[in-house]
C-alpha cells in the first residue's frame, strides 16, 4: 500500500534557487485512488497525492466530506511538519475536498500550535459544482445508506470494484455536504484555476459530471459568484479520459503552468 500522502515527485534541489517552489498536493477523485496523478510527468515542484484513507474499506466516512478533509490536513501535518506555502487541488471530488481543506485551515485559531499552512491557490481538474446535482440520474437520494461489506468481502474485492464502491459512497457524501459559506470573506477563498474537459462523456450530455458542461465555470458561478476562479483552462478529452496516455503530456504541462501561475511570486 502506498504511503499517504504519497510523494510522487521530488521538487528541484538546485542551490541556485532562493526559495523552493511550493509543493502541489492533489487530493483523490471519487474512486479514491491517486493512480492518475502517478501518470503525470514531473512538474518542476514537489508533487504529493492523497488517496482515500478508507479506500480498502469502501471509502465511506460517517463524518462525510468535512471529516475526510480534516483527516487529510492531519496527513499533511505529518508529511510537512513545518507547514508553509502549498497549492492544493485535485480531479473531480479532489477539487471539492480542496475547498473544504481551505475552509478548515482558514478557520483555525490564530494561536494554534499546529503547523501553519498558507494556500497559494487551488487547481480544480474538471471539478463540477455540486449543489445542483441532487435528483440527477445516477446520484443517490438523501435517504441512501452506505453499502456494508464484511472484512472478508473487502479483502477479496478486486481494486476495480473497490473504486466503484468508493465512487458510490463519494456521491452519497456529496449529497449530504454543506459547502463552506464564505459570505463576507470571499477574499479568503484561494485563487483557483479550473481545468475544464472539452468533451462530453456521452453525446446526450446526460452523465452527471456533464450537467454543467455548457457553462464555462462548470456551475461555479453559483458559488460566491465564481470570482475566485482566476482562469479556466481547456483540456482534451472528457471527464474520465483526461489522464489517458494520449492526453497525459498536455495535461501535465497545463497543471505545471497553473501551479507556476499560482506560485509566481516564488519563481
- Residue 122 belongs to a domain: yes
Residue 142 falls within a domain, yes or no? yes
Tens digit of pLDDT for each residue in 166-186? 999 999 999 889 999 999 999
- The CATH number of whichever domain residue 61 belongs to comes to 3.40.50.1820
CB 197 within 8 A of CB 237: yes
Q: So what's the pLDDT on residue 1?
A: 59
- pLDDT, residue 267, reads 60
- Give the list of residues 6+ apart from residue 24 with CB closer than 8 angstroms, or none: 43, 45, 46, 47, 48, 86, 87, 88, 89, 123, 255, 259
- Average pLDDT for residues 59-77, to the nearest whole number? 96
Indicate the number of domains in the chain.
Answer: 1
Query: Are β-strands 24-27 and 47-50 bridged in parallel, bridged antiparallel, or unpaired?
Result: parallel
Q: What is the pLDDT of residues 45-55, one digit of tens each?
A: 999 999 999 99
The answer to whether residue 129 sits within a structural domain is: yes
Assigned domain for 1 exists? no
Whole-angstrom distance, CA of residue 102 vs CA of residue 119: 7
Residue 224 backbone zone (phi > 0: left; psi -120 to 50: alpha; other: beta): left
Residue 30 domain-assigned (yes or no): yes
Domain-embedded: residue 46: yes
pLDDT tens for residues 86-119?
A: 999 999 999 999 999 999 999 999 888 999 999 9
Among 54, 1, 8, smallest CA distance to 162 is for 54
Measured in whole angstroms, the distance separating CA 206 from the mean position of its chain's CA atoms is 23
Containing structural domain, residue 115 = 6-266
SS3 at position 108? coil
Please say whether the beta carbons of 247 and 235 come within 8 A. yes
Query: Which whole number is the average pLDDT over 130-139?
Result: 58
Q: Is 22 within the bounds of a domain?
A: yes
Domain assignment present for 81: yes
The answer, as to whether pTM is greater than 0.85, is yes
CA atoms within 13 A on the CB side of 230: 14
Which residues share a beta bridge with 232?
194
Cell of 235: 483540456
Given this model, what pLDDT does residue 264 score? 85
Amino acid at each position: 500500500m502506498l504511503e499517504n500522502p504519497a510523494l510522487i515527485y521530488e521538487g528541484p534541489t538546485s542551490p541556485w534557487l532562493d526559495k523552493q517552489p511550493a509543493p502541489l498536493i492533489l487530493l483523490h477523485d471519487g474512486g479514491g485512488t491517486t493512480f492518475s496523478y502517478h501518470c503525470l510527468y514531473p512538474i518542476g515542484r514537489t508533487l504529493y497525492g492523497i488517496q482515500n484513507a478508507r479506500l480498502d474499506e469502501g471509502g465511506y466516512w460517517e463524518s462525510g466530506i468535512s471529516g475526510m478533509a480534516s483527516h487529510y490536513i492531519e496527513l499533511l501535518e505529518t508529511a510537512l511538519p513545518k507547514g508553509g506555502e502549498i497549492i492544493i487541488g485535485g480531479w473531480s471530488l479532489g477539487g471539492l475536498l480542496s475547498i473544504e481543506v481551505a475552509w478548515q485551515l482558514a478557520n483555525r485559531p490564530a494561536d494554534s500550535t499546529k503547523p501553519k499552512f498558507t494556500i497559494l491557490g487551488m487547481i480544480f481538474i474538471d471539478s463540477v459544482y455540486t449543489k445542483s446535482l441532487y435528483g440527477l440520474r445516477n446520484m443517490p437520494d438523501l435517504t441512501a445508506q452506505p453499502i456494508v461489506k464484511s472484512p472478508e468481502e473487502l479483502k477479496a474485492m478486486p481494486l476495480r470494484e473497490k473504486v466503484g464502491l468508493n465512487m458510490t459512497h463519494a456521491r452519497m457524501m456529496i449529497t449530504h455536504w454543506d459547502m463552506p459559506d464564505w459570505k463576507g470573506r470571499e477574499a479568503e477563498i484561494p485563487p483557483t484555476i479550473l481545468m475544464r474537459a472539452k468533451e462530453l462523456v456521452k453525446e446526450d450530455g446526460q452523465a452527471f459530471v456533464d450537467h454543467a458542461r455548457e457553462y464555462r465555470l462548470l456551475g461555479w458561478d453559483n458559488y460566491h459568484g465564481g470570482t475566485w476562479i482566476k482562469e479556466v483552462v481547456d483540456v482534451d478529452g472528457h471527464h474520465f479520459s483526461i489522464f489517458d496516455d494520449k492526453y497525459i503530456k498536455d495535461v501535465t504541462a497545463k497543471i505545471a503552468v497553473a501551479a507556476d501561475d499560482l506560485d509566481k511570486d516564488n519563481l
